Structure formats: structure tokens, C-alpha cells
Amino acid sequence: MSIKKETWTEIIHPKRNWLDVNLRELYRYKDLILLFVRRDFVSVYKQTILGPIWLIIQPVFTTLIFFVVFSRIAKIPTDSIDPILFYLTGITLWNYFSDCLNKTSNTFIANASIFGKVYFPRLATPISIVISNLIKLFIQLVLLIAIVIYQTQLNGASFAPNISLFLFPVYVLIMAIMGLGLGIIFSSLTTKYRDLSFLLTFGIQLLMYATPVIYPLSFTSGKLHTIISFNPLSPLIENFRYGCFSEGSFDALGLVYAAAFSIVVLFFGVIIFNRVEKNFMDTV
């Protein structure tokens, strides 16, 4: 027997503990996360003429369609807020969430060829997606500001920001956490049960209608109002609009609920992701 005990820097085991998430290792790969962000951003707009301008065109067209369909035809009120600004604020924030969820939800399947050849902390991929969507969001915010100036100066729309608007980064953070959490749960489950990816596309569409994006929460009543209030995304969008237009009231409880919900989702998401990432190559 040798007296000197052998030391190991790493031990590969069949299964990890539920909570064995190596955050230090993830931090060591921070450069990779940033390079993924860059890759996603650069590669999408290469060989397009308009480039990142597409990021602006999308919400503009959606807003116009919503304006025509929901405001002009369906005549859904937008409280006393200018409809264009109402839709654009909602869409900007909603798009961030839905993009995060959509893009992270196929992490494993879309990256199978890389994951099958080299190891790095798999969480780097969905995290990079959430960050690259942040850049998109930033560009869309610039658009929002431009439209706000246009609408207030030329069309006399009201824009009355209050102090709660400073919480905007918190809303974004909560949405990022929720989008990431749900996304990695879906990506983990779709490695085995592909059906879920169809369900998700459909589900995100439904969720938008269950979130006050195209109507104010005050428009709903009774059971419907209760259901939509339980949607953790509702207080985020409502509070953002309150911050912009000082219309209605600030929902502090809803914000706490949304934050708690997102953290719980991320917690379970990371656990499930962590379980799946070790063996998904055998099933994907």
C-alpha cells in the first residue's frame, strides 16, 4: 500500500446529486458564453441587407397589425393610453420573454452535434441565448423611445413616466430568469419526448393571449381576471405600463409573486437540465 494518497481533480460518476451544479466551472467558461452571444448575433444578420434593422421592423409591423385588428376592428380599449404605445410597450417586453423561451427550449437538439463532440458546461448555451436576446431588447427599446417621442410630439399622445420605471431592469431580469427556467425544462424534456416542442409553439401563442399584451388587465373581469392575474407575466407588463403612463396602479405583490415564481422555475429547470445533460447524447 502506498502511503501517499492519490488526489483527483475530477471524478466522473454515473449520476450526480440533485443539487450538484458547478457554478464555478460555468464562470470559468464566461468567455465562451460571450463568444456564443457574439456568434448568435453576428451569424443571424450576415448576408442580410438590412441587418439588425430587422429587429426594429418586426415589432413595428406587429404593432401595426395589433393596432388595426384589436384597436380598430375589435375595438378593445387600451385605457387612456395611446394604442400604438400601448401595444409597443407590451410587445417589446413580451417578445423578450417569448424569444428567451423559444430559443432556449431546443438547446439540446439544436446543439447536439457540438455537445456530442466536446464537453463544456451545457448551461453556457441557454445563458448565452438569454444574453443575446438582451441585446435585441436594447435595440428595440431604442425604437420604443423613438416612437414615444414621435407619438408625443406629433400626435399628442400622453407619456407620463414615474419613479417605478426604474424597476424596468428588474422586470427584464425576472423575465430572463423565467424564460431561461422554462426553456431549459422544455429542452430537457424534448430530448426524450419530441412532442413537447410542438406543444410549446402552440403554448407560447396561447400564453400571449393570457397575458395583458393586447388588452389592459382592467379590461377583464370575474374568473378571467383571476386567471390572468395568476399569470406571473401579467404584473410585469402591467407594472411596466404603469411606469410609462402612470395609468392604473403599481402591483407590488404581483411583482414579488413573479420574482418568486421565476426563481422556483429556474431552480427546477437547472436541476432537470443538470440531470439530462449527462446522458442526453444517448437518446437525442
Partner 1 sequence: MNVIKVEQLYKQYQLGQVSTGTLSHDLNRWIHRLFGKEDPYEKVTIENAREKSEDSQYVWALQDINFEVKKGEVLGIIGKNGAGKSTLLKILSKVTSPSKGCIKINGRVASLLEVGTGFHPELTGRENIFLNGAILGMTKSEIESKFDEIVSFSGVEKYIDTPVKRYSSGMYVRLAFAVAAHLEPEILIVDEVLAVGDAEFQKKCLGKMKDVAGQGRTVIFVSHNLVAVKSLCTAGILMHRGKVAFSGSADETVEYYLKSNASELKPSVTFQDPLLAPGNEHVRIQSVGINPELPSITDEIEINFSFWNLTEFSSLNLAFDIIDMNEEIVFGAGNTLESANGICAGRCIIPADLMNDGTYTLTLYLQTPDLRPLYSINEIVHFEIIDRQRNYAYFGKVNGAVRPKLKWILS
Residue numbers of the site for partner 1 (CB under 8 A)?
6-15, 28-29, 31-32, 34-36, 38-39, 42-43, 46-47, 114-120, 192-194, 278-279, 281-283
CB 268 → partner 1: shortest distance, Å? 17
User: Considering only CA atoms, which of 243, 92, 22 is closest in space to residue 251?
Assistant: 243
CB 177 → partner 1: shortest distance, Å? 25
Of the pair 74, 114, the CB lying nearest partner 1 is at: 114
Rg of the chain over all Cα atoms, to the nearest angstrom: 21
Contact 228, 211 (CB under 8 A): yes
Contacts of 36 (CB under 8 A, 6+ apart): 124, 125, 128, 129, 132
Task: For residue 33, give Cα distances in angstroms to 106, 122, 192.
Answer: 17, 10, 26
Contact 79, 196 (CB under 8 A): no
Of the pair 20, 226, the CB lying nearest partner 1 is at: 20
Of the pair 36, 66, the CB lying nearest partner 1 is at: 36
CB 99 → partner 1: shortest distance, Å? 20
CB 35 → partner 1: shortest distance, Å? 5
Of the pair 42, 256, the CB lying nearest partner 1 is at: 42
Contacts of 230 (CB under 8 A, 6+ apart): none
Distance, CA of 202 to chain centre: 16
CB 283 → partner 1: shortest distance, Å? 5
User: Considering only CA atoms, which of 48, 8, 18 is closest in space to residue 278?
Assistant: 18
**For residues 243 and 89, what is the distance between their CA atoms, to the nearest angstrom?**
11
Of the pair 89, 190, the CB lying nearest partner 1 is at: 190
Of the pair 116, 161, the CB lying nearest partner 1 is at: 116
Of the pair 24, 117, the CB lying nearest partner 1 is at: 117
CB 1 → partner 1: shortest distance, Å? 15
Contacts of 50 (CB under 8 A, 6+ apart): 57
CB 119 → partner 1: shortest distance, Å? 4
Contact 187, 122 (CB under 8 A): no
| End-to-end alpha carbon distance in the chain | 44
Of the pair 34, 210, the CB lying nearest partner 1 is at: 34
Backbone φ and ψ for 158, nearest 5 degrees, come out as -90, 140
CB 206 → partner 1: shortest distance, Å? 24
Cell for 193?
A: 419526448
Strand partners, 78: 80
**For residues 73 and 60, what is the distance between their CA atoms, to the nearest angstrom?**
19
